[in-house]
Copies of this chain bind each other. A is one copy, B any other.
Amino acid sequence: MTQNIYDDPEFFEGYAQMPRSIEGFAGASEWPAMRALLPDLRGLRVLDLGCGYGWFCRWAHEQGAASVRGLDVSRKMLEKAARDFPAEGIEYMRTDLETVNLPVVAFDLVYSSLALHYIEDLASLFERIHTALTPGGRLVFSIEHPIYMAPQNPRWSIDKNGHQSWPLDSYFLEGPRITHWLAPGVVKQHRTLGTTLNLLLRANLSITHVEEWRPSPQQIAARPEMIEELDRPMFLLIAAQKASL
């Protein structure tokens, strides 16, 4: 089963304080870039893998999605989602994405924000997503960028001349990365960018866009410290599509 770090009290407490938890999309710098990859949601059946507090489910509902289903492994987050954003047409379900059975040809859009880098068997999940999508249906997801996740010591390094860089190593050593983020022992799964793309292709999902997220000039103007995000990519956003009939 996927590690359920989000129900760890220490982690949950820390995550609840993050801008993206309090402000939703306004606190998620990559949201404008994600949104740009989404189709018009009106009338679509939408599945959100790793829905967390339900921000996207609510938004999809407001955009006119025909139905929205949000899956997550965290009981605490789903309870908060159902409390904060109850709505006809949104269904939250606790489930493990490693093994979840998805209905066949049931969704026009599968969405996932910063969840799939916790998944060990991504090949299997992509196959299940392909089966769950309607012909022409889309998968849009974000993960931590592998350049961000790979290093043994994923922190900025400053050399003796004061120059800052990202000390990349271990890029081809795929597998678990254990970090101390909000709580000790958070396990993420590192895969190269090539591996993730080739897993999509092998699941018969064609790639339609690959976005290595960078802050916009407006975002940097508002928060000048974000300029360091131009030195290495933090998030990877991918749009893919199942063939039309």
Contacts and interface: CB of A to CB of B under 8 A. Distances in A.
A171 interface: yes
Contact of A212 (B192, B208, B210): B192
Interface residues of A, number: 36
A201 B207 contact: yes
A206 B165 CA distance: 34
Contact of A201 (B172, B192, B208): B208
> What number of copies of this chain does the assembly contain?
2
Determine the main DSSP class of A at the interface with B: mixed
Nearest to A213: B194
A232 interface: yes
A211 interface: yes
Given A157-B159, A171-B233, A233-B172, A209 B201 contact: yes
16 contacts: A151-B165, A153-B163, A157-B159, A164-B169, A165-B167, A165-B168, A168-B168, A168-B231, A170-B230, A171-B232, A171-B233, A172-B214, A172-B230, A173-B230, A192-B233, A193-B210
Interface of A: 147, 151-153, 157, 159, 163-173, 192-194, 197-198, 201, 206-212, 214, 229-233
